[in-house]
Amino acid sequence: MSRLAALLALTVLTHGTLSAVSAQAAPPPSQLQPGGSWEEIAYDILGERTPQDGAGVIEMTAPYRANDAATVPIRLHRGGGDRRIVSASVVIDENPAPLAAQFEFGAAMAPLDLELRVRVDQYSNVRVIARTEGGEDFMTGRFVKASGGCSAPASRDPGTALAGLGLMKLRQFMPDGAAGEPRAAGRRAEAQIMLRHPNYSGLQRDQITQLFIPAHFIDRIEVRQGDDLLFSMTGGISISENPVFRFGYTDNGAPNFHVTAHDTEGNLFEHSFVVEAGS
């Protein structure tokens, strides 16, 4: 190989390596697709606000093609930097009720890491609009291929579903590398709240009578660590049956979690969970 050819090869190799490093270091771009209903609903969601590109501030992960349109998992997490996210709205553009949920986050939720499950009624952009402590709005999301999630039959018949209405369960997870260690205030931890509720959307049919089941869903939930707010959610028909929320938080040493939920029939559900000493 001539010296010129060798230099050209080295230049290409170096450029390729630097490009790869830059690509790895750069925050992932939004995977939203243009078009759809967003322009028609944006004002109802945002008002006069114009969100910035969320790359590097907020990330949302979701499957490109969902296995089950009625339980599509999405994860919201801080993309980097030191901006604290104090609230977030989840929007599913093509759903009958596009605003799926609005969250408020306490200080212990930073850096944000929250998972939930939603219904997707047809191929749609699923987006999150996050507000930082400084009052700035950032948006990101992705296109999800799923259909029929809002009208999919419930997993249980109405009698069985309503019999366990409001039952709650807490799961706690040990932080990486902390197995066997005593609980410590100030340490990051992870928990999962599960709530039994059919979250009827009003678009599902009773499989026996074929009549529509009236909408009946959780519209508010609040999770506290002792007296301190972890998060609250105002939700609609796009939250999946039997809502599940998995989240990271900073342990404040409080002896319990307190969960309060309210549904559209006026039912109030409350439960206090003892925090395990080894969590």
High-pLDDT (> 70) share of the chain, %: 86
Query: pLDDT at position 209, please?
Result: 87
User: CATH number for the domain including 246?
Assistant: 2.60.40.2470
Structure confidence at residue 29 as a pLDDT band (50, 70, 90): low
Indicate if the pLDDT at residue 83 is higher than 70: yes
Rounded mean pLDDT of 174-194?
80
- Asked whether residue 17 is domain-assigned, the answer is no
Would residue 15 count as lying in a domain? no
The pLDDT, as a whole number, for residue 266 is 98
Rounded mean pLDDT of 43-70?
Answer: 96
What are the φ and ψ backbone dihedral angles of 48, each rounded to 5 degrees?
A: -85, 0
- Domain annotation covers residue 11: no
pTM for the whole structure: 0.86
- Please give the tally of structural domains in the chain: 1
Residue type, 39: E
Domain ranges, residue 214: 32-274
Q: Has residue 119 got a pLDDT over 80?
A: yes
pLDDT band at 237 (very low <50, low <70, confident <90, very high): very high
In a domain? residue 13: no
Residue 95 lies in a domain: yes
More confident residue, 158 or 271: 271
**Is 77 within the bounds of a domain?**
yes
Is 4 part of a structural domain of the chain? no
Q: Is residue 27 part of a domain?
A: no
Q: Calculate the alpha carbon distances from 180 to 7, 171, 174, 250 in Å.
A: 56, 17, 9, 18
